[in-house]
């Protein structure tokens, strides 16, 4: 039996009908065409599927779309507005904080949440937060440096 | 993999929840934070025919201190517990353990009740409940009942909760001023599942003797393991390094971990000794400083 859900994604309201077993990841990617949220493991260990749900970071592969009824979702596509990079994204760009980009949505969403909670984290706090998102390319150093650079630049979160 | 098909309910009251669980017993399963259940469903290791999402039961998320104990609603998210000044003041052991549950993102959704009902013996929160002799309240078709930590955990990922019951509340004794607590775990990376973990508290008496020691292990058996023999070695004596070492060795002997991909049983037992020693040393210094 399908359930009707109403939710806002990146500022746009949607109303759709979903099977209960439809993961939020697949709903966003396949039903809404928002493929920025990545599917890496489907069991909550890689972090590539991380997005913001009602302001908090959530692993969308561990969430059914039906649970997002009434929620406000922000995916990687919604972090920036009008194609302008946020200061955090700009820092990733300038500090080579990505190679293939698969983990990058998870890294950016988690870093965004961190900087909103704590605009001045230590490197240890940054590392501890990002430890939940796995990267196969970079060895993490440039990712951490990107967040450090964003913090130093002061306009850390830049969410508009 | 994708989960097998199921029917989904999101009740608005506890009564509605219990009615659904009874109606579809035993195929109905409670969905709390989903951080343990949904991975199992994605692997199809769990295939409940009916999922009862209790995320809409707002009354179940309170955190309250009253009369020397801490009462926490089962749906309190780990992140709320982590951020709670009440928990920091009254249950520092729970705070330190909660900070080590996965990562913040997991903690935003995972719940204290869910962690206890899931009863992974390697998890942090069951060890805390065991260490503190906490209790849970379960609501079922015949009313409420209180289940102590020693009665709750049956074996790996199995509690004495029946399929028609919902865990609604967790109760922990408040920590006194001369009690030091420590929770420490060994994992391959920060935030990973614990290979072994230790929850320890030390309460000092008037003459700085150990009035009460509490030690519980995660990852050392099929359920969280309370090390009563080790506690007995500490109780009534002024704890010094040698006694702490003896207690740690007793825990090492009592632990019954299994070999797995991450570590051999022998290694885990050795790490129990190392971590118990560290945890007790930290707990002692916190007790002496008045936490």
- The complex scores an ipTM of 0.96
B-proximal residues of A, 81-140, CB under 8 Å: 110, 113-114, 127-129, 131-132
Over the Cα atoms of chain B, what is R_g? 19
Read off the pLDDT band of B290 (50, 70, 90): confident
The string of DSSP codes covering chain B is --PPP-EEE--SSHHHHHHHHHHTTTTEEEESS-TTHHHHHHTTS---SEEEEGGG-GGGG-EEEETTEEEEETT-BHHHHHH-HHHHHH-HHHHHHHTTSS-HHHHHH-BHHHHHHHT-TT-HHHHHHHHHT-EEEEEETTEEEEEEHHHHEEETTEES--TT-EEEEEEEEPPPTTEEEEEEEE-SSTTSPPSEEEEEEEEE-TTS-EEEEEEEEESSSSS-EE-HHHHHHHTTS---HHHHHHHHHHHHHH------SS--HHHHHHHHHHHHHHHHHHHHHHHHTT-
Cβ neighbours, 10 Å, residue B2: 13
Q: Distance between terminal CA atoms of chain B? A: 47
CB-based contact, A29 to chain B, within 8 Å: no
Model confidence at A156: pLDDT above 90 = no
- pLDDT, residue A160, reads 35
- pLDDT, residue B67, reads 87
CA B187 – CA B102 distance, rounded (Å): 11
Which residue in B has a C-alpha nearest to residue A43's C-alpha?
A: B39
Closest residue by Cα to residue B179 from B212, B130, B133: B212
Place of tokens 């984290």: A121
User: Cβ of B38 and A63 within 8 Å?
Assistant: yes
Arithmetic mean of pLDDT, B155-161: 98
User: Cβ of B103 and A131 within 8 Å?
Assistant: yes
Which residue in A has a C-alpha nearest to residue B77's C-alpha?
A: A56
The pTM for the full model equals 0.96
Write out pLDDT tens, residues B198-228: 999 999 999 999 999 999 999 999 999 999 9
Write out pLDDT tens, residues B2-21: 999 999 999 999 999 999 99
> How close does chain B come to A56, measured CA to CA in Å?
7
The first and second tokens of residue B286, run together, are 């916190």
Write out pLDDT tens, residues A14-57: 999 999 999 999 999 999 999 999 999 999 999 999 999 999 99
Arithmetic mean of pLDDT, A75-87: 93
Return phi, psi of residue B210, to 5°: -75, 115
Three-point CA angle A39, B98, B168, nearest 5°: 90
In the predicted model, what is the mean pLDDT of chain A?
Answer: 95
Residues of A in contact with B55 (CB under 8 A): 67
Write out pLDDT tens, residues B38-55: 999 999 999 999 999 999
Query: In the A/B pair of chains, how many CB contacts fall below 8 A?
Result: 84
Write out pLDDT tens, residues A98-143: 999 999 999 999 999 999 999 999 999 999 999 999 999 999 999 9
User: Cβ of B35 and A62 within 8 Å?
Assistant: yes
Greater pLDDT, B88 or A154? B88
User: Mutual orientation of helices A123-130 and A104-117 as an angle, nearest 10°?
Assistant: 130
Arithmetic mean of pLDDT, B17-44: 98
> How close does chain B come to A49, measured CA to CA in Å?
11
- pLDDT, residue B123, reads 98
Residues of B in contact with A23 (CB under 8 A): 2-3, 42
Return phi, psi of residue B203, to 5°: -110, 130
CA B16 – CA B9 distance, rounded (Å): 10
User: Cβ of B104 and A42 within 8 Å?
Assistant: no
Three-point CA angle B79, B80, B83, nearest 5°: 85
Model confidence at B56: pLDDT above 70 = yes
Q: How would you class B174 by CB atoms within 10 Å of its CB: exposed for 0-12, middle for 13-18, buried for 19 or more? A: middle
Q: Determine contact, residues A92/A98, Cβ cutoff 8 Å.
A: yes
Place of tokens 């500490």: B234
- pLDDT, residue B139, reads 98
CA B289 – CA B291 distance, rounded (Å): 5
Give the 3-state DSSP-derived string for chain A, with helices as H, strands as E and coil as C: CCEEEEEEECCEEEEEEECCCCEHHHHHHHHCCCCCCCCCCCCCCCCCCEEEECCEEEEHHHCEHHHHCCCEEECHHHCCECCECCHHHHHHHHCCCCCCCCCHHHHHHHHHHHHHHCCCCCHHHHHHHHCCCCCCCCCCHHHHHHHHHHHHHCCCCCCC
- pLDDT, residue A155, reads 57
CA B30 – CA B202 distance, rounded (Å): 36
Q: Determine contact, residues A73/A51, Cβ cutoff 8 Å.
A: yes
User: Cβ of B2 and A129 within 8 Å?
Assistant: no
Model confidence at A159: pLDDT above 50 = no
CB-based contact, A67 to chain B, within 8 Å: yes
- pLDDT, residue A157, reads 55
Return phi, psi of residue A70, to 5°: 85, 0
Read off the pLDDT band of B189 (50, 70, 90): confident
User: Cβ of B105 and A59 within 8 Å?
Assistant: yes
Write out pLDDT tens, residues B243-252: 999 999 999 9
CA B129 – CA B93 distance, rounded (Å): 10
Greater pLDDT, A155 or A153? A153
Return phi, psi of residue B69, to 5°: -140, 165
Closest residue by Cα to residue B281 from B232, B219, B210: B210
Write out pLDDT tens, residues B90-127: 999 999 999 999 999 999 999 999 999 999 999 999 99
- Which of B105, B109, B114, B118 should one mutate to test binding to chain A, selecting the residue with the greatest count of A CBs within 10 A? B105
């Amino acid at each position: 039996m399908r359930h009707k859900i109403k939710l806002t994604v990146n500022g746009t309201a949607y109303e759709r009908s979903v099977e209960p077993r439809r993961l939020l990841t697949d709903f966003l990617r396949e039903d809404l065409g928002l493929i920025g949220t990545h599917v890496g493991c489907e069991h909550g260990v890689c972090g590539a599927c991380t997005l913001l749900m009602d302001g908090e970071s959530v692993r969308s592969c561990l969430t059914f779309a039906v649970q997002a009824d009434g929620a406000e979702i922000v995916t990687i596509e919604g972090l920036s507005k009008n194609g302008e990079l946020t200061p955090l994204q700009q820092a990733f760009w300038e500090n080579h904080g990505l190679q293939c980009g698969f983990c990058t949505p998870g890294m950016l969403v988690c870093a965004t949440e961190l900087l909103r909670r704590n605009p001045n984290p230590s490197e240890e706090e940054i590392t501890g937060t990002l430890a939940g998102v796995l990267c196969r390319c970079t060895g993490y150093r440039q990712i951490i440096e990107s967040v450090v650079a964003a913090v130093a630049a002061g306009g850390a979160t830049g969410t508009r | 993999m994708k989960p097998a098909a199921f029917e989904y309910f999101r009740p608005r009251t506890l009564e509605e929840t219990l009615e659904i669980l009874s109606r579809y017993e035993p195929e109905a399963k409670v969905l709390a934070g989903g951080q343990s259940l949904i991975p199992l469903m994605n692997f199809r290791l769990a295939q409940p025919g009916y999922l009862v999402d209790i995320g809409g039961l707002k009354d179940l998320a309170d955190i309250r201190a009253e009369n020397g104990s801490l009462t926490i609603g089962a749906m309190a998210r780990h992140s709320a517990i982590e951020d709670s000044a009440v928990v920091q003041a009254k249950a520092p052991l729970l705070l330190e353990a909660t900070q080590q549950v996965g990562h913040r993102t997991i903690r935003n959704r995972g719940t204290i009740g869910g962690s206890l009902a899931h009863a992974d013996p390697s998890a942090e929160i069951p060890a805390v409940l065991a260490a503190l002799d906490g209790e849970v309240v379960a609501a079922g078709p015949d009313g409420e009942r209180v289940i102590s930590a020693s009665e709750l955990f049956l074996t790996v990922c199995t509690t004495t909760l029946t399929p028609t019951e919902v865990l609604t509340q967790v109760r922990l004794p408040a920590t006194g001023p001369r009690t030091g607590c420590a929770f420490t775990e060994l994992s391959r990376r920060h935030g990973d599942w614990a290979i072994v973990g230790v929850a320890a508290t030390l309460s000092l008496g008037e003459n700085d003797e150990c009035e009460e020691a509490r030690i519980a292990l995660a990852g050392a058996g099929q359920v969280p393991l309370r090390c009563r023999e080790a506690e007995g070695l500490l109780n009534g004596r002024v704890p010094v390094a040698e006694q702490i070492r003896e207690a740690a060795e007793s825990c090492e002997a009592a632990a019954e971990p299994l070999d797995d991909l991450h570590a051999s049983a022998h290694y885990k037992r050795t790490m129990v000794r190392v971590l118990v020693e560290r945890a007790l040393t930290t707990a002692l210094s916190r007790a002496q400083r008045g936490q």
